[in-house]
Amino acid sequence: MSLFSHRAIFLAGTAFLVAPFPAIANEAAAEDGPERDYLPEMIVVVGSADGYTTTDGSSGTKTPTPLIDVPQTVAVITEDQLDDQGISQLGEALRYVPGVSLETGEGHRDEIFIRGQETTADFYLDGLRDDAQYYRSLYNVERIEVLKGANALIFGRGGGGGVVNRVSKSAKLGTSEIGLNASADSFSAFDLGADINQPLGDAVAIRVNGTYEEFDSHRDFYEGRFIGISPTLTARLGPDTRLVASYTYDDDSRVTDRGLPSLNGLPLGGYDRTFFGDPEFNRASNEAHIARARLEQGLGAGWSVNAAVQYANYDKIYANLVPGTTDGTTVRLSGYQDYQDRENLIAQANLVGEFETGGVGHTLLAGVEASWQDSFNGRRNVRFGTGAGPFTGSVDVPLADVLTIPAFSLAAPNRANNSKLSVLSAYIQDQIAFGDHVELIAGLRWDRFDLETTNLAGMLTIRVDEKVSPRVGLVVKPMESLSLYASYATSFLPQAGDQFFLIAPNDQAFEPEKFTNYEIGAKWLIDPKLFLTAALFQLDRTNTKGPSPTDPTLVELVGESRVKGIELSLVGDILPGWQANIGYTYLDGEIRSSTSSAPAGRRLEQLPEHQFTAWNHVELTEKFSVGLGLIYQDEQFASLSNAVTLPDFWRVDAAAYYQLSESVTVQLNIENLFDESYYPSAHGDNNIQPAEPFSARVGVRIRL
């Protein structure tokens, strides 16, 4: 049965919600609502940035709210900064966001820790969930937003430590632009890109972004390629009506690199280039199709409505041999092949109104969202041996620069999970302004999850969860350019985990995990292009499964963890001609009660105590500029075992830019200027990723 067949009623309801409003808008057009000078004529999720700064905080509230008034830590990487750094993939960009540490993602997906909470699914595209396990390119992205702290009111399930939202490029009315770029690095990787915007009259425009990339690195046998194309259309359907539609096709194929093992509590030395797998077998490929449409309707008198629909299809397969333990002479290998198919349909509608009651200002948000997700996940394990056997699931091979791997094959499937997930959500939020200096933000979200999973044996498991998630924030503004805030928000994650492939029968009775975020902070707009923020927070995670304290043979929801931290950032024009994005995070997190994974008191995995990042762009002359980047990451444990440490490191990056003409700029980007050896990420104790040594990339950008 098609994914669309049993969802038509909701979509028809969404259309009904939107269709009557033009008439209402005409009736109300003459009415005068209260004024706030930052409000646009209609709600637009995307917003513009100026250099490295942005004032748009709409992703944190689903209303047109300045970033200074959002009671939450939000880190933004703008298109200008991405261009300056020569960054093309999401993981590379997130290295420059303190409070975020990278997981290796098994060499085939984006996987990160935000405030100590691991996730493969808390990724969004223009505010709509993009939760499949794959690598995300930035060729069609205007900026990246990292909204930290639990906040289910806006984003729904998950997001315990925060979420990552990509704001996509959309077609611009009334302007014709052509952008071309190309670059190549010292490892022979290269990319070609195009960004073309063309009006089709006064009220319609199209924009097409495309890229072709080839990957390479210092790692033996690593290579791959990426193809992406993303056309968008913007149409003004009336004075207060706008339609934005887009389609994205991404095709990714690469070697699956699982890194190297550990020895005596540290990454194995002397094998940073060695590929611990079979380059013909260790392959990952993914095709993603994402189609979206968003309709925005201004109603007059401070009211507006928007509705969005997104359909996504992901088809992915990956295989790998995986390094395990080593004694310094041999290394143990095992492996598997995994395949995933996912089809998502999301529909969302929001009504936003600005009005006054008794001299008190209100910005009201009321919304509904429904989503349907059909997924299949299968796996086949590797078996070593030939002929009639005997076969084994692992093998020890001698350590060498190039491993000699014995014959292997794939066994019969040992996993075949089908899941069907239906989610219905409703939420309401009010931003209440008491004069010019105090604003209270309060709201609730209700979610219902209906999950059906079927495993390889044909066993059907059904689980229904209903949760209510609150959010409360208080913003005090002693002056227009300074805000002080305190906030409380929660989120949750059903026991099926963030991918919903399977809920085991033993997990069926357990309530979802809960995340509770307490935060106080300050935001100071020192001038229109310089933004200083500071925050202290505490994030509690509860309802984690673990052994019963009275009967270790039983499993209960006894697990708890806590992360406390401090975050500081300074973004914008430090001095004329000097732009910077500087951040620091202190994180302290531990298990507070035993789980099946770790006892109480153990430090959380991949949680560096100190992180510091800084990217600087300095104009030396009218045509010549330089860039300087610094990253410091404190030592961290590779897993909850706390048995393997990834040492601390400093990394220095540099860049130079020369403007040949009004439309042509050439640039040189150097990563790891001082050729530091370090290990920035891991997937457990024996899949540790060594960083690239010194590398240089030369590029050219053309703007017509």
pLDDT at 597 over 50: yes
**Does 454 have pLDDT greater than 50?**
yes
Predicted local distance difference test score (pLDDT) of residue 23: 33
Global confidence as pTM: 0.92
Q: pLDDT band at 21, cuts 50/70/90?
A: very low
Task: Please state, for a pLDDT cut of 70, what percent of the chain lies above it.
Answer: 91
Say if residue 418's pLDDT is above 90. yes
Sign of the dihedral through C-alpha 134, 110, 271, 86:
positive
Query: pLDDT value at position 556?
Result: 60
What pLDDT, on the 0 to 100 scale, is given for residue 11?
Answer: 45
Residue 544 has a pLDDT of 84
Question: Is the pLDDT confidence value at 442 over 60?
Answer: yes
Range scoring the smallest mean pLDDT among 93-107, 237-251, 396-410, 549-563: 549-563
User: What's the whole-number mean pLDDT along residues 541-559?
Assistant: 70
Per-residue model confidence as pLDDT tens digits over 642-656: 999 999 999 999 999
Is 70 exceeded by the pLDDT of residue 179? yes
Per-residue model confidence (pLDDT) at position 233: 98
pLDDT, residue 551, reads 60
Model pLDDT, residue 559: 85
pLDDT digits (tens, 9 = 90+) for 521-540: 999 999 999 999 999 999 99
Q: pLDDT higher for 399 or 456? A: 399
Residues 322-356: pLDDT tens digits?
999 999 999 999 999 999 999 999 999 999 999 99
User: Measured between alpha carbons, how far is 91 from 111 in angstroms, rounded to an integer?
Assistant: 8
Let me know: does 455 contact 416? Beta carbons within 8 Å.
yes
Closest Cα partner for 3 from 310, 386, 208?
A: 310
Task: Choose the weakest-confidence range: 355-359, 501-505, 671-675.
Answer: 501-505
| Coil vs helix vs strand at 27 | helix
Sign of the torsion formed by the C-alpha atoms of 81, 85, 88 and 92: negative
**Are 330 and 323 spatial neighbours (Cβ–Cβ below 8 Å)?**
no
Distance, CA of 296 to CA of 350 (rounded, Å):
10
Of 655, 694, 4, the C-alpha closest to 310 is 4
State pLDDT tens for residues 160-169: 999 999 999 9
Tell me the C-alpha distance between 168 and 137, whole Å.
11
**pLDDT > 50? residue 61:** yes
At 552, is the pLDDT very low, low, confident or very high (cuts 50, 70, 90)?
low
Which class would CATH give 8-703?
mainly beta
Find the range with the poorest average confidence among 2-6, 146-150, 438-442: 2-6
Tokens representing residue 696 in the block: 């240089």
**Average pLDDT for residues 311-326, to the nearest whole number?**
97
Of the candidate ranges 251-255, 549-553, 642-646, 650-654, the one whose mean pLDDT is the lowest: 549-553
- Looking at residue 13, its pLDDT comes to 45
Q: What is the structure's pLDDT at 500?
A: 87
Average pLDDT of the chain is 91
Mean pLDDT of 281-301: 97
Residue recorded with tokens 């195009």: 194
Tell me the domain boundaries of the chain. 8-703
Q: Exposure of 16 by Cβ count < 10 A (0-12 exposed, 13-18 middle, 19+ buried)?
A: exposed
Per-residue model confidence (pLDDT) at position 49: 59
